[in-house]
Amino acid sequence: MLKHWKLPFMAALTVFILVLSAGCGGNPASSNNATSVHADGSQETNSTSERAEKDTEPAKEVELLVSAAASLTESLNELKTVYEAEHSQVKLIFNYAASGTLQQQIEQGAPADLFLSAGTKQMDVLVDKGFMNDSLTANLLTNELVLIVPKDGSVEVQTMEDLINLGDIAIGTPESVPAGKYAQQALAYHQLWDPLQSRLVLTKDVKQVLSYVETGNVDAGFVYKTDAALSDKVKVALSAEAESHDPIEYPIGVLKGSSHPDEAKAFYDFLLSDPARQVFSKYGFTPAE
């Protein structure tokens, strides 16, 4: 009796195994889908091809907005090329202007991730008002103030006192242009600020001073040493004594309101690195100690 019962059972078991094997290998679509059964009986199917596409999607490009002093234009443009080549997901957008103008823009809500100033005053104001990340501010560079005259002109200046004999002299507007403030201090140091008032041409930034001297619109102008080195149309007549004005320092900082704090810090660290310092040195800046 027991032997007869085993035969139909074994036949049924064989059929069940064959059907199960066909179900596992016979549906082509099953190789591309994974089905999960939850405790409540619901099912969730994920396409492996969709997951693969998601995994290979390129990283979203990040735009870093950098407000920088106009005198940094050439050096930062070169560093932009270097940095973007090594960080393909980052696009650097620079807003060049006088440091005071940039400070006011930030105070008025203009978006920015980093600020590079040509003077500590502008940075200090933003720090005091809570715009900057206190742990991510540092002195980046130093510079020198020089008096330039047209290279092929007849203007000769040996000392600061010789400025009395010149015509118009260009300087940045002292209230918004750090180079102009340093020039004002140097002229006051030599007791020339008041006597020269009628001949001073105030400009929006140091680049405009350079342009006025290049074109002969003024007899002379005060710019940074780095700006003078960029032009073959001007020559340096003299350098202002270091004691005649405040130290010329370029602080850098990351804003608290940065939309991309991680990327901003990475670029901040890069600008303080040795490779970046070498580029700044090429343009005549002195890296801060």
**Average pLDDT rounded to a whole number, residues 179-200:** 98
Kindly report the average pLDDT of the chain as a whole number: 87
Per DSSP, which regions of the chain are E strands?
33-37, 43-47, 62-69, 90-97, 114-116, 132-142, 145-150, 169-172, 200-203, 220-224, 234-239, 249-255, 286-287
Q: Which pLDDT belongs to residue 60?
A: 85
Q: Which pLDDT belongs to residue 155?
A: 86
Per DSSP, which regions of 70-224 are E strands?
90-97, 114-116, 132-142, 145-150, 169-172, 200-203, 220-224
Tens of pLDDT along 10-57?
444 444 444 444 444 444 444 444 444 444 444 544 555 555 555 556
* Residue 96, helix vs strand vs coil: strand
Q: What is the pTM of this model?
A: 0.78
- Looking at per-residue pLDDT, the higher value among 32 and 80 belongs to 80
C-alpha to C-alpha distance for 66 and 144, rounded to whole angstroms: 23
Count of positions (residues) in the chain: 289
C-alpha to C-alpha distance for 190 and 199, rounded to whole angstroms: 16
Q: Which pLDDT belongs to residue 56?
A: 54
**Average pLDDT rounded to a whole number, residues 128-137:** 97
Q: Which pLDDT belongs to residue 289?
A: 85
Task: Give the range among 51-60, 132-141, 215-224, 241-250 with minimum mean pLDDT.
Answer: 51-60
Q: What percent of the chain shows pLDDT beyond 70?
A: 80
**CA 283 to mean position of chain CA atoms:** 17
**Average pLDDT rounded to a whole number, residues 182-194:** 98
Tens of pLDDT along 58-77?
668 999 999 999 999 999 99
Q: Which residues contact 46 (CB under 8 A, 6 or more apart)?
A: 33, 34, 36
Look up residue 24 and give its two tokens.
Answer: 């596992």
Tens of pLDDT along 104-132?
999 999 999 999 999 999 999 999 999 99
Q: Which pLDDT belongs to residue 53?
A: 52
